[in-house]
Structure 1
Amino acid sequence: MFSQLTLHERLLKAVAELKFVEPTPVQAAAIPLALAGRDLRVTAQTGSGKTAAFVLPMLNRLVDLQGPRVEIRALILLPTRELAQQTLKQVQLFAQFTYIKAGLVTGGEDFKEQAAMLRKVPDVLIGTPGRLLEQLNAGNLDLSHVQVLVLDEADRMLDMGFAEDMERLCKECANRQQTLLFSATTGGAALRDMIGKVLNDPEHLMLNRVSQLAEGTRQQIITADHDQHKEQIVQWLLSNETFKKAIIFTNTRTMADRIYGHLVAKEVKAFVLHGDKDQKDRKQAIERFKEGGSKVLVATDVAARGLDIDGLDLVINFDMPRSGDEYVHRIGRTGRAGGEGLAISLITHNDWNLMSSIERYLKQQFERRVIKEVKGTYGGPKKVKASGKAAGVKKKKTTDKKGGDKKVAAKRKPAAKAPRNAPLASADGMAPLKKRAPAAE
């Protein structure tokens, strides 16, 4: 029960107002340790309630601050505008019965208006690394009095190339008393390096191993012959699947616009969201999608983090994401907070190896699905039987008494063992495979 946590009565009043009764596993594990002042490194799946797990202890530290507001006391770093805006709303809801004020600094908003907001000195500042550094370099931002630093979706920020920006901002918070780092994936070497630099004797909490992520979501693949075939499958799914809301993910803005155009031509109510859209259009698309103005959102990975939309129960990967972590974040938009969802990935022959590597990463096997109405010719890689020659069979010819060729039963000779470092055989067993040059990005 939240009432059993040693939170300030004003925060417990807000929790009750929001009808939160039982803390989620990540909240139950992280909040007591954070209240005790420990640095934390927490891995928990999307939709698990990790925002409240760092916001509530952070606010608890600030709730009894006395005197005029002259210093920023807490900083929350996030990778995207959408996630930052969503986190601001959460902070405001939990702080509604306190005097704590929060501010937002992200790209896509008026720089001078943000500078004016910073002069009012919010207690909690929420922002993305790039714009925060711009305000810092302009002399509009003082982080020397920050007590609590939160790095949310730290792995994503590193993936986006914010490592140096994050380190600089962490150094600006040199007098902090606590650092909390949350992510939905375990990340890689870059994340481990960041943890070593910014956390002080942290408690490590792994609420979900990779193989347990998205347990409430059915994961399917449907094979396709080419992109045009994928578009036909998408049309069939949107016409025949039962869903409240769906997101279609692509890897490029061009493909997102193309799919959106085809949907509109078929009179499907849809919105498109990607990096070329200005902030006003992005806000409008997300708000209308949340409100039910359309059932379909076509998006690049700009929407893969931070979107928490009620009723989103279908994710379609038109393009397979480029990494296992990105796949986890995409399908994490559905099946949130214990709900059920369906994630479908469309796979051509170019996608198969990437899909297989993601299966291995997740230690799962996706369900194979065939839709007879839009079935294509590609069904995955075929196992090619070795030819007689490849199997070590040698045929002899002899000449009969009349001078004609006569077939003699083939003699099978035992296959020689290949040297340990011999090149691999090709799929037909005839010739060694050459190393393929890396594809240009």
Structure 2
Amino acid sequence: MVLAHDTSNLKIRTQDIKITQDVTFNTMLLSEPTLRGLTNAGFYRPSPIQLHGIPLGKCGFDLLLEAKSGTGKTAVFSVIALEKLQLENNVQAVILAPTREIAAQICDVLKQIGSDYEGLCVEVVMGGLSVEEDKAKFKNKKVHIVVGSPGRLRHLIHDGHIDTSAVRLLVLDEADKLMEKSFQPDINYIFSTLPNQKQVIMSSATYPENTKTFINQYVQNAHHVCPDTTSILLGIKQKVTHVQYNSNVLRQTQIRYKELLEILTKNNFKQCLIFCNYQARVAELHKMLKRDKWPSEQLHGNQDQEDRLGALKTLQEYKCRILIATDLAARGIDASNVDLVINFEPPYDWQTYLHRIGRAGRFGSYGLAITVLSEGKEDAKFKEILSIMKDSLTLSNLWSDDRYQLDETTDKSCNGSIEKKTFTKTEKVHEVVTNLKEITKNIWNEINTASNENKEIESFEDLMRSFNETSSVESFSDLLNSYESNDCEDKIECVFKTLQPKKMPLHDFLNHLKNNLEVPNKVDVPLSPNMIPEKKHQ
């Protein structure tokens, strides 16, 4: 398997990975085993970040590597780690990654570039797999480099399975993600067990302003290696497409899905990555695509680790055309054939946006990134998070190719009127309660009307069947999954528990609703028509 992207073919590459100097890896004073490993893996000429980062790293300086996604940062710290090794000693390099998938990929890169080092041992440890198997990796043999997720690595160090006394290099890949509070206790513990004299390398495509305090805790007089003034990949066309807003989660997903099918049908692509914000949405979308005969795989945190790694492998080996994923796949994942990225739901911050679209356009190739936005509040929020980069980003509308203006603060419809109102989380919960009350009101109207006219009352089973015929929900579990993926799931669950605290027959439950719910005279929030069951005419 060739690791590096093939730059010798006829495929046109962008300037992101090109250098003007007449330099190859052979002229960079690297050891023979490293050079042979680079050649075997397909590396011949360095990218800008490799040209600047490797020599400084070899000199032992702490580094802040900052370069666009897919321009070769992993190879930089991999080469530096291999060049520092003394194969007669135990663990000498510790590499941390925020996700298990990135850790596994780094391990593969190290093994391939280090393939000519006799006796080299690189191990990866991660949660989700057997801890006993991880412990066994360090028994009765020398491990030179360990790559892992912070939680599992801390556990193994704490229990004495990994000796860190000889560590000379600490690498934090996707450093801005590792700076989040959830990782802090584990990273601080690992750092405290390492020798004082060591080299620290941080690597990321983005370094937000609020990361400076974190950085200063770990590096000393670090050299900031940033070969480009922008983090925007030159080969990525960025598009947006708008869909109608609907406050009902199920209906909104259906509207987005219709647009997704339009995108997949009308755009040529080799491989496509589709990003969702929630695990339940990934599973739901995967099922919908399978139903409509679109072969796809899924990747999210609720899967077994073996399944997660398997899904990633099918993408990298070009065995699947479409992968639906959460942000587990937004960072560090290298699949050279991905040329279409679709944000089925927009990300929550600009860093995640850049990392997502960076899955296409790897190593100077060209790709397309499309973000699906609902009109109104979501569109305004998207403009807000990208406003920091409005002078360097160029986005256009997918179907019209008109410029998408990031500095607009309000959206208007075609007749110039202000877009319809959007709602806060509290208002969404209010709408759910109001809809439930309205459903109850309609049911009682049906009962009373039927009684007054001496008509036969429609059975509950017929009523439910009628509702199912007007809804795209396949089962009640699907409904729960969609509600669970919403931010206000706890409040909604509370509403259901309040309405029906105990299991009871339908007639008693309806009486309970009638006696305990006050139907408002004025409904402040628009009802979602698809939440009200229609009467089935006989």
Measured against the shorter chain, the TM-score band is 0.7 to 0.9
Distance 1:97 1:80 in 2: 28
Q: 2:206, 2:231 within 8 Å by CA — same for their partners in 1? A: no
Which residue of structure 2 lines up, in the alignment, with residue 420 of structure 1?
Answer: none
Deviation at residue 204 of structure 1 after TM alignment: 1.0
Q: 1:146, 1:175 within 8 Å by CA — same for their partners in 2? A: no
Which residue of structure 1 lines up, in the alignment, with residue 127 of structure 2?
Answer: 107
Q: 1:31, 1:54 within 8 Å by CA — same for their partners in 2? A: yes
Distance 1:385 1:256 in 2: 36
Distance 1:256 1:267 in 2: 17
In the alignment, structure 1 segments of 5+ residues that lack a partner are 373-379, 388-426, 429-434
Which residue of structure 2 lines up, in the alignment, with residue 199 of structure 1?
Answer: 219
Which residue of structure 2 lines up, in the alignment, with residue 258 of structure 1?
Answer: 284
After superposition, what is the alpha-carbon deviation per residue over 1:372-415, rounded to whole angstroms, capped at 9, x for unaligned? Answer: 9xxxxxxx81189999xxxxxxxxxxxxxxxxxxxxxxxxxxxx
1:51 and 2:74 aligned: yes
Match of 2:177 among 156, 163, 170: 156
Instruction: Give the partner amino acid of 1:293.
Output: K
After superposition, what is the alpha-carbon deviation per residue over 1:10-63, rounded to whole angstroms, capped at 9, x for unaligned? Answer: 11111122231110000001001011111111111110100111111221111x
Within 5 Å, which residues of 2 pair with 1:204-243? 204-209=224-229, 211-225=230-244, 226-243=252-269
Within 5 Å, which residues of 2 pair with 1:37-186? 37-62=60-85, 65=86, 67=88, 69=89, 71-99=90-118, 100-119=120-139, 120-159=141-180, 161-186=182-207
Deviation at residue 159 of structure 1 after TM alignment: 3.3
Which residue of structure 2 lines up, in the alignment, with residue 31 of structure 1?
Answer: 54
Q: 2:172, 2:178 within 8 Å by CA — same for their partners in 1? A: no
Deviation at residue 92 of structure 1 after TM alignment: 0.5
Which residue of structure 1 lines up, in the alignment, with residue 45 of structure 2?
Answer: 22
Which residue of structure 2 lines up, in the alignment, with residue 418 of structure 1?
Answer: none
Which residue of structure 2 lines up, in the alignment, with residue 368 of structure 1?
Answer: 397
- Where 2:368 maps in the other structure, the secondary structure is strand
Distance 1:283 1:231 in 2: 26
Which residue of structure 2 lines up, in the alignment, with residue 305 of structure 1?
Answer: 331
Instruction: Rate the CA distance shift 1:383–1:16 in 2: closer, same or farther, 3 A.
Output: same
Q: 1:221, 1:367 within 8 Å by CA — same for their partners in 2? A: yes
Instruction: Rate the CA distance shift 1:250–1:37 in 2: closer, same or farther, 3 A.
Output: same
1:296 and 2:327 aligned: no
Instruction: Give the partner amino acid of 1:197.
Output: Q
Distance 2:369 2:318 in 1: 20
Instruction: Rate the CA distance shift 1:66–1:52 in 2: closer, same or farther, 3 A.
Output: closer
In the alignment, structure 2 segments of 5+ residues that lack a partner are 1-23, 245-251, 402-409, 429-486, 489-538
Which residue of structure 2 lines up, in the alignment, with residue 401 of structure 1?
Answer: none
Q: 2:168, 2:195 within 8 Å by CA — same for their partners in 1? A: no
- Where 1:76 maps in the other structure, the secondary structure is strand
Q: 2:318, 2:337 within 8 Å by CA — same for their partners in 1? A: no
Deviation at residue 214 of structure 1 after TM alignment: 2.0
After superposition, what is the alpha-carbon deviation per residue over 1:417-439, rounded to whole angstroms, capped at 9, x for unaligned? Answer: xxxxxxxxxx79xxxxxx99999
Instruction: Rate the CA distance shift 1:18–1:112 in 2: closer, same or farther, 3 A.
Output: same
Higher helix share: 2
Instruction: Rate the CA distance shift 1:361–1:311 in 2: closer, same or farther, 3 A.
Output: same
Q: 1:106, 1:128 within 8 Å by CA — same for their partners in 2? A: yes
Which residue of structure 1 lines up, in the alignment, with residue 381 of structure 2?
Answer: 354
Q: 1:145, 1:175 within 8 Å by CA — same for their partners in 2? A: no
Distance 1:302 1:188 in 2: 23
When structure 1 is superposed on structure 2, of 281-290 and 27-36 the one drifting more is 281-290
Distance 1:248 1:160 in 2: 27
1:336 and 2:362 aligned: yes
Q: 1:274, 1:299 within 8 Å by CA — same for their partners in 2? A: yes
Distance 1:251 1:61 in 2: 40
Q: 2:380, 2:411 within 8 Å by CA — same for their partners in 1? A: no
- Where 1:351 maps in the other structure, the secondary structure is helix
1:281 and 2:302 aligned: no
Q: Give the root-mean-square deviation of aligned CA atoms.
A: 2.4
Distance 2:416 2:64 in 1: 51
After superposition, what is the alpha-carbon deviation per residue over 1:220-244, rounded to whole angstroms, capped at 9, x for unaligned? Answer: 0000013322101111111221000
After superposition, what is the alpha-carbon deviation per residue over 1:80-111, rounded to whole angstroms, capped at 9, x for unaligned? Answer: 11111111011001111113211111111110
Distance 2:92 2:236 in 1: 39
Match of 2:411 among 381, 389, 392: 381
Q: 1:217, 1:335 within 8 Å by CA — same for their partners in 2? A: yes
Distance 2:233 2:149 in 1: 27
Instruction: Rate the CA distance shift 1:164–1:238 in 2: closer, same or farther, 3 A.
Output: same
Instruction: Give the partner amino acid of 2:341.
Output: V
Deviation at residue 354 of structure 1 after TM alignment: 2.2
Distance 1:222 1:322 in 2: 17
After the TM superposition, which segments of 4 or more aligned residues of structure 1 sit over 4 Å from their partners?
A: 383-387, 435-441
Q: 1:145, 1:176 within 8 Å by CA — same for their partners in 2? A: no
1:249 and 2:278 aligned: no
Q: Percent identity?
A: 30
Deviation at residue 177 of structure 1 after TM alignment: 2.4
